[in-house]
Structure 1
């Protein structure tokens, strides 16, 4: 696969995620891998406004191969996951409101059907580390060794997939699950 399809895939998925409210404003970042080449969103741009020339191409070690913009500050997070998971070809990092609300409150999201094999009753939450740091990259990479999505304490969500669109669908599913669980918990505490 050459660079152009990866860049187009990043743009299309970015618009999808933005339209679903999973990455408001200039938040979030996404990447796709083909062999040892990774396409990643640039730093400081809305995922809803990307053009193929905005996408940055790097090798698996992080060396910039193409692109005029600075790669996302979470580049190392994406690379760490790819280095630990050969099966992952797409990564989505969102700040969607309900999943991020659970992350900020330190509340667990119950694992439902659709999250794959039910290993634990709740989605994994990795400890807080400042955004863009190697500490966060390692924590997320380790958290995703046996999971397809993790909640980042006080931060957001990272979802993976066999391709970028599958990762986006998983991020959307986690957000809808968090929303449903929030609504149900509010309703259980209401008197009618």
Structure 2
């Protein structure tokens, strides 16, 4: 079975996406790109995450052609591929419908640096313009909006995060959901104080050495 390790990781993280309350039902999708092979392991469409098996994960190439698997890839396959083509530092994509990030996206706001943990994305989380899910237009909007960031809000839809590994992309989804909730709560009380560019420069420098022993 091709990309067995990647397939098993996707199953585990899809279940974690539910238990971490980053999505509901069969919402959202995950992929891992093995650049050495030019192949992408991707969630199938419409399969319950707690019934999903490793061999349900479909393998496609970077042109979107099925290489191995009997299931149909996610309806957002084009969006994942657009991100892999956009930046060669991306090896995993996580798409969620987490409540607070999606709330901000439905207001059609970018997420500003209200808390330093937004550094998982960069100095903010940009917003991709609305387009119908699963369309080429949405894929293009997301690829254009993400720039050098590791997260992007999808207007009236949800959140996409990227990383050099699936664990990194997933951690970014978790942290951006937390920052989104903080922003929501502070906006409910008053007007939050936004961190300055200079402070975010400091944060990102510190992030460069975080966790290194």
The normalised TM-score by structure 1 is: 0.91
Shift of 1:117: 8.4
State the 4+ residue runs in structure 1 displaced beyond 4 angstroms. 117-120
1:175 aligns with 2:177: yes
1:20 aligns with 2:23: no
Q: Provide, for residues 130-154 of structure 1, a one-character-per-residue CA deviation record: whole Å limited to 9, x for no partner.
A: 1000011011111223111000011
1:113 aligns with 2:116: yes
Q: Provide, for residues 64-85 of structure 1, a one-character-per-residue CA deviation record: whole Å limited to 9, x for no partner.
A: 0111110000001000100111
Matched-pair contact (CA < 8 Å) for 1:81–1:141: yes
Distance 1:95 1:102 in 2: 11
- 1:81 is matched with 83
Distance 1:6 1:117 in 2: 23
Distance 1:117 1:18 in 2: 21
Distance 1:45 1:89 in 2: 23
Shift of 1:57: 0.4
**Structure 1 residues 58-69: aligned runs within 5 Å:** 58-69=60-71
- 2:186 is matched with 184
Shift of 1:119: 6.4
Q: How many residues align?
A: 187
Matched-pair contact (CA < 8 Å) for 1:18–1:48: no
Distance 1:178 1:155 in 2: 14
Secondary structure at 2:95 match in 1? strand
Matched-pair contact (CA < 8 Å) for 2:118–2:179: no
Matched-pair contact (CA < 8 Å) for 1:23–1:47: no
Matched-pair contact (CA < 8 Å) for 2:120–2:150: no
Long gaps (5+) in structure 1: none
Shift of 1:115: 3.5
- 2:207 is matched with none
Shift of 1:186: 1.9
The normalised TM-score by structure 2 is: 0.82
Matched-pair contact (CA < 8 Å) for 1:77–1:141: yes
